[in-house]
Chain A
Amino acid sequence: MSSTVSYWILSSARKTIATLQGGQRLYSRYASNRIISRWRFFPQGPATLKDNATACGGIAVQKAYRHTSTEEEDFHLQLSPEQVNEVLRAGESAHKILDLVSRAPDSVLRFESNQLAANSPVEDRGGIAACLQTNGLLFGIFDGHGGHACAQAVSERLFYYVAVSLMSQQTLEQMEEAMESMKPLLPILQWLKHPGDSIYKDVTSVHLDHLRVYWQELLNLHMEMGLNTEEALMYSFQRLDSDISLEIQAPLEDEMTRNLSLQVAFSGATACLAHVDGVHLHVANAGDCRAILGVQEDNGMWSCLPLTRDHNAWNPAELSRLKREHPESEDRTVIMENRLLGVLMPCRAFGDVQLKWSKELQRSVLERCVDTEALNIYRFTPPHCYTPPYLTARPEVTYHRLRPQDKFLVLASDGLWDVLGNEDVVRLVVEHLTEESQHKADLAQKPTNLGLMQSLLQQRKAQGLHAADQNAATRLIRYTIGNNEYGEMEPERLSAMLTLPEDLARMYRDDITVTVVYFNSDWIGASSKGS
């Protein structure tokens, strides 16, 4: 979706073309240090790219100069600040929890999210939903690799798995009953932000069947209260991943469903999912998305409380887990060049059956498949793959009881964390809050008459205040791609980064998806006193 948005904006921007001054330097400087591809065996693997970029940086620049599908050989478009804002804000969404949506926990005040694509189509997904049969809000960030299929599937399905896992025995029985008598189901979720283009209807019905099998199994557990949140998150992650894997091992009649399921299983996605119910905050993470809390101590100082640990080669716990799970002989090969088996950055993820299945199983499944090439499936068994599975979707679940000093939660894909540190992120959100309250203050002591109001508004316009980001997620993205190596905001760089042609964008930046959730400290304070 966002690719269409930016296409529209870019094509309207194209009308105002200006030569880009000093763009050349920008590209060459950037090209050398930001080439990250999750899967290294992909056609445009970093090995060749790196050579290109360092040795013949000039070529990359030449190419960057030409925008794909335009004739303006010698021009590059530079966006005006308004156009930059339009591009950055195209993916914005904000939501305020209202009294009427009584099912949402009172601890959440509002949330803001945004997404900026680098891949085409974008491989990140973000979704937000309220569980309708239990209390609680779910916030999810999904970062796909090797295509968007897996991220799309996980982002749509995981919420349902979690919601079902949290349901009481009684609710599950009602669901089953409705299903049996072909009556409309109880509503499971209310999407507050849908992860995007839903895949085809027929496929959804297959997914619903599998979800049903899952809840039938939960029913058979005979636990009246259902699972606790931690178990629910743990089970649903693993259950969904195994369903993704099993779906293509079982024969599927419909070719389209089958092809889609293959694409899902042979691509991958990391996931970070937060569940907020009153003061209870659970975060389940598998991969290198990250969730942090912005905390304001009594003395007014801000600090950061990480709620997840990245599952990658820089995490000693993950390293020792991997070594523990595989024979000693593989100690040197299980992580090579900071990648799992030398190929994959995150050590936990959905999909990626190449790293989960034996060679034999892979072969037998793919033999049945007509044309892997056309489906963009990479038939590849990494070297040193002796004792699969190497990859798991088992999440690490952390629990945090919200305190009045916990002001906000930031969830984002690694496109953000690669550039900004946890402290930077907290600082930027705090700045955003301060500015927002200042702007509000300007308007809070509202001028009483129209003339005064007009001059205040015109003043604000002149200062550019009206153009300030209303959305903290947008601000974070703006700084992620606009910061130079000294950590300063550089407008030219921002504009240049946003006008990169589709085929180049991924080399300079990653997909970025951010959600910022603001907590209601007063409510949290009152309810912790109460209990």
Chain B
Amino acid sequence: VMLHRLLAMVRGPGRCGGWQKGCSARGSASAAAAPPVVLPARAQVVVCGGGIMGTSVAYHLSKMGWKDVVLLEQGRLAAGSTRFCAGILSTARHLAIEQKMADYSNKLYHQLEQETGIQTGYTRTGSIFLAQTQDRLVSLKRITSRLNVIGIPCEVVSPKKVAELHPLLNVHDLVGAMHVPEDAVVSSADVALALASAASQNGVQIYDRTSILHVMVKKGQVTGVETDKGQIQCQYFVNCAGQWAYELGLCSEEPVSIPLHACEHFYLLTRPWETPLPSSTPTVVDADGRIYIRNWQGGILSGGFEKNPKPIFTEGKNQLEIQNLQEDWDHFEPLLSSLLRRMPQLETLEIVKLVNCPETFTPDMRCIMGQSPSVRGYFVLVGMNSAGLSFGGGAGKYLAEWMVHGYPSENVWELDLKRFGALQSSRTFLRHRVMEVMPLLYDLKVPRWDFQTGRQLRTSPLYDRLDAQGARWMEKHGFERPKYFVPPDKDLLALEQSKTFYKPDWFEIVESEVKCCKEAVCVIDMSSFTKFEITSTGDQALEILQYLFSNDLDVPVGHIVHTGMLNERGGYENDCSIARLSKRSFFMISPTDQQVHCWAWLKKYMPEDSNLILEDVTWKYTALNLIGPRAVDVLSELSYAPMTPDHFPSLFCKEMSVGYANGIRVMSMTHTGEPGFMLYIPIEYALHVYNEVMSVGQKYGIRNAGYYALRSLRIEKFFAFWGQDLNTLTTPLECGGESRVKLDKGVDFIGRDALMQQRQNGVYKRLTMFILDDHDTDLDLWPWWGEPIYRNGQYVGKTTSSAYGYTLERHVCLGFVHNFSDTGEEQVVTADFINRGEYEIDIAGHRFQAKAKLYPVPSLLTHRRRKEDVELSDLHGK
């Protein structure tokens, strides 16, 4: 009965002309007449938000057998962005995980009408992505080659073919296009209602016009919600509140930071064309013209992502549903002109209205899902960057899996809430950043793009000093890191011109930095790394670390251990280096973006014990990496201490003096496989130590280097990085990390059973290094990541990272090789399987031959140098 009432209320744009009127007045009247509702006193899960996300989560939870679910909606179902969504379902996404979510959504919506009996307006129209420039075409070709390997039909077509697919299009300025025939249009409001209806049949209880005032948290665990109609006790809470999620996140004893911000978004509706457009008319995306166009009831629906977006709701919530937002025709003019340029014949088409439908955007253009790092049982699924309909089904499924099984079936780190911390939650930051993100949706996405807004938030004390020396910066987790240093006599291209899929303008700069790392010494500021200290009064620290990490940490004081932090399935939750500072204290270095995730993981497993202390000391230390064969000379000169391997073996940590500064933590390790040292310097000494290093280093040819040099070095040496090559679904055995696992260290650790099993059964994928053979660095497209790998002509996996190796003078890609049987099942991958294949890497549709390696290429060059150095230093010694 209730469902009928709910369904009667909302009409999406897929329906007849009066859809807009139908909502406001009638809806409230029927609600007023309804008897007062009584909420259940308790439930296992409370989902907040009756849009496509909330209903999808409820639907998938109930399908997986969690039926004690209550869904609360403050207005009416599907009355937020879901109601006004343009209804385009497109699988052409840049991230693999996004492609998978969209593909799943497409399949789900396709059969939804059959499953629920509710009309969703699903029509498989296909979509055409136009390219006005060669660069855009490259971008589309990259997507094409990646969609094809996951089984989504997709092809690059000529302008002539475009004209056949859509006769109204002006194709004169096009260089090509991408056609995705299985993309669809659908009424998103009706999809949400269908999902709600199916969920409700499965036992989910749905209440509209119920606002959540407060989420109750006790001891870091969700205990219930307080609504305007009473309390509900619950163990799980899911925040799918869309535009309102940021504020809802704060309405809790333990605030949950959900960084998102809304922008106004406009699209146009018209009356039918003289001869109404057939419902199968494909959707057109003209990203260079910043617009999309779809068929709408014989006419068109067209909107876009303008260069100058209008952020709204910075102050926060001011209405329960989205309505009465002002139209702004003047603002829409560039998009309208772009539309008429693309379809000149539409001039005579009559206007129905200009719809203003706010959309939420996130700081990195990727949606937000997962569990709060600080509150157990608090899940989030929001921030869809205008792709809520495309992601809705898949995202809801992954989140439901996460709640039911404890983890999703795919690697979703790129979308994980824990990639953000409170530092991304300033309203000013978000307002500025989303103004950059929204236009970026249709900008060309090229490798190594850095956001320009919301910068210089976290910096090292050396920032100004490095900046003055020509540093160019990139940002990770709010921290500024140098990319490379532009010499004073060199000019680089302006930002806009520097966008390229080919050889970038900094190629020679990084080359000289790499060369200096190989032959002399470079200093790289690596302060952004996440640094924790774990200390205890007794053996508690060692005990918990032994349980959490796969390598043996019971090493003599002063030793450094590379180790993975694994989950139950043996997958990497983190890959880090741990130094044993004393018997009872450990210093842990993790990737920059692990700050929130790793902290949450450690906190989850660490017992509540006041004798065991975990401290985030990231801000306390500036980290300098002295890298190269001469690093040892610089350090020994600065410390008057012998630094030779006899006195300071590799993977060793000592507190010593550098210059005037005492208590500098020096570690004989680098993150690239080159010889060198990491210096962890209390920040007040940073400038002093840096100055000393630079002045003493002068005679050894020291210079600054940046992360691009580091990246080239580490990929050439086959060093896998967490977050790029390694993730929660890869185990050490799958990426040559056996040496970092001690299965027989005498203590059980998380993931040990899974690894034992895997050791017995063999691995189903293997991280492999590929050296591109017939690739012309100057003329060919550069690899990036996500390129398909072919073995003997068969697709076997995708690359995860790549860089130009200046020593090998070849491009190097890292990537996973699978062994699919004829039926598509995964089989064991052996070294033999890898070695006995002919490989190709597909870059934007062009396949390049590649040599596969399971172990880094020993570099003769560096070996020889080192020998010379030894002789040279012997000479000095005498």
Contact = CB atoms under 8 A, between A and B. Distances in A.
A221 interface: no
B319 A101 contact: yes
Nearest to B495: A15
B254 interface: no
B340 A454 contact: yes
Interface string B498-520: 00000000000000000000000
A315 B268 CA distance: 56
Given A100-B320, A443-B329, A449-B350, A192 B428 contact: no
A51 to B, nearest CB: 36
B552 to A, nearest CB: 43
Nearest to A4: B428
Contacts of A100: 319-321, 323
B330 A465 contact: yes
Contact of A454 (B326, B337, B453): B337
Contact of B351 (A5, A93, A192, A453): A453
B602 to A, nearest CB: 25
A5 B428 contact: yes
Contacts, number: 80
Contacts of A8: 432, 453
Nearest to B429: A4
Interface in A455-476: 457-458, 460-461, 465-466
A95 B323 CA distance: 13
A465 B270 CA distance: 25
Contacts of B214: 184
Interface stretch (B341-349, B391-399, B653-661, B848-856): B341-349
A451 B347 contact: yes
Contacts of B321: 100
Nearest to A452: B347
B319 A458 contact: no
A449 B336 CA distance: 11
B114 interface: no
Nearest to B300: A450
A316 to B, nearest CB: 41
A460 B336 contact: no
Interface in A172-212: 184, 187, 191-194
Given A93-B315, A100-B319, A100-B321, A449 B349 contact: yes
Contacts of A4: 428
A448 B350 contact: yes
Given A5-B428, A450-B270, A457 B329 contact: yes
Given A100-B320, A194-B315, A454-B337, A1 B347 contact: no
A427 B424 CA distance: 43
B533 to A, nearest CB: 25
B268 to A, nearest CB: 8
Contacts of B323: 98, 100
A466 B333 contact: yes
Given A5-B428, A191-B316, A192-B315, A450 B330 contact: no
B319 A450 contact: no
Contact of A98 (B324, B339, B347, B348): B324
A63 interface: no
B318 interface: yes
A8 B433 CA distance: 11
A454 B336 contact: yes
Contact of A461 (B226, B333, B432): B333
A191 B315 contact: yes
A453 B337 CA distance: 10
Contacts of A448: 350-351
A95 B332 CA distance: 21
A100 B329 CA distance: 25
A379 interface: no
B213 interface: yes
Nearest to A194: B315
Interface in B284-337: 314-316, 318-321, 323-324, 326, 329-333, 336-337
B428 A449 contact: no
B306 to A, nearest CB: 13
Nearest to B214: A184
A451 B351 contact: no
Interface majority SS (helix, strand, loop, mixed), chain B: mixed
B632 to A, nearest CB: 39
A450 B339 contact: yes
Given A96-B324, A184-B213, A461-B330, A192 B337 contact: no
B541 to A, nearest CB: 31
A499 to B, nearest CB: 20
B349 A457 contact: no
Contacts of B349: 449-450
A449 B351 contact: yes
A400 interface: no
Interface in A84-100: 93, 95-96, 98, 100
Contacts of B331: 466
A446 interface: yes
Contact of A95 (B318, B339, B346, B348): B318
B475 to A, nearest CB: 15
A457 B330 contact: yes
Interface string B433-465: 000000000000000000001000000000000
Interface string B342-364: 00001111110000000000000
A194 B453 CA distance: 23
B330 A453 contact: no
Interface string B692-718: 000000000000000000000000000
A131 to B, nearest CB: 15
A37 B43 CA distance: 61
Interface string A414-449: 000000000000000000000000000001001111
A450 B318 contact: no
Interface string B129-147: 0000000000000000000
A212 to B, nearest CB: 19
A450 B226 contact: no
A155 B346 CA distance: 53
Interface string A256-269: 00000000000000
Given A193-B315, A457-B330, A450 B336 contact: yes
Contacts of B351: 446-450, 453
A466 B350 contact: no
Contacts of A449: 347-351
B701 to A, nearest CB: 30
B318 A101 contact: yes
Contacts of B333: 454, 457-458, 460-461, 466
Contacts of A184: 213-214, 226
Nearest to B251: A184
A461 B428 CA distance: 30
Interface string B196-235: 0000000000000000011000000000001000000000
Contacts of B319: 98, 100-101
Interface in A1-30: 1, 4-5, 8
Contacts of A5: 428, 432
A461 B319 CA distance: 32
Nearest to B270: A450
Nearest to A82: B308
A193 B330 CA distance: 26
Contacts of B347: 449-451, 454
Contacts of A95: 318
Given A100-B323, A448-B351, A457-B330, 19 more contacts: A1-B428, A4-B428, A96-B326, A98-B319, A184-B213, A184-B214, A192-B318, A446-B351, A449-B348, A450-B336, A450-B339, A450-B340, A451-B346, A453-B329, A454-B333, A457-B332, A458-B337, A461-B330, A465-B330
5 contacts: A184-B213, A191-B316, A450-B270, A453-B336, A454-B340
Interface of B: 213-214, 226, 268, 270, 314-316, 318-321, 323-324, 326, 329-333, 336-337, 339-340, 346-351, 428, 432, 453
Nearest 7 Cβ contacts at the A-B interface = A451-B347, A466-B330, A457-B333, A184-B214, A450-B349, A448-B350, A449-B350
